[in-house]
Amino acid sequence: MDKWMAWGASASTALVEWGAPLGDSAVLRGSKGPGFVGGYSIVQADSLDSAKRLFDAHPHFGASGASIELLEIMSMPGK
């Protein structure tokens, strides 16, 4: 956990929510998409490139075959 805490400190206020590991999912309609989401965190950045830099030294990359996928949270249309 020390590595995770150090990463969180380096991300500073850009780390909006630490997030959590995720459990099983249920497909309500259609078919399950490719891949597996094992957890999430929410960060805030000025651009996708800025967000990418926040994860340069993320401790998750210490695990064999580990990956992190960034997804932008979009504004709701009409808001």
The domain tally of the chain equals 1
Q: What's residue 19's pLDDT? A: 93
Asked, for residue 49, whether it belongs to a domain, the answer is yes
Residues 6 or more apart in contact with residue 24 via CB below 8 angstroms: none
Range of the domain at 46: 1-21+37-74
Asked, for residue 64, whether it belongs to a domain, the answer is yes
Q: What is the pLDDT of residues 1-11, one digit of tens each?
A: 899 899 999 99
Residue 22 in contact with residue 38, Cβ under 8 Å?
A: yes
> What's the token pair of residue 28?
């309500």
Q: Please identify every stretch of the chain with a pLDDT value under 70, giving residue numbers as ranges.
A: none
Asked, for residue 26, whether it belongs to a domain, the answer is no
Asked, for residue 50, whether it belongs to a domain, the answer is yes
Asked, for residue 27, whether it belongs to a domain, the answer is no
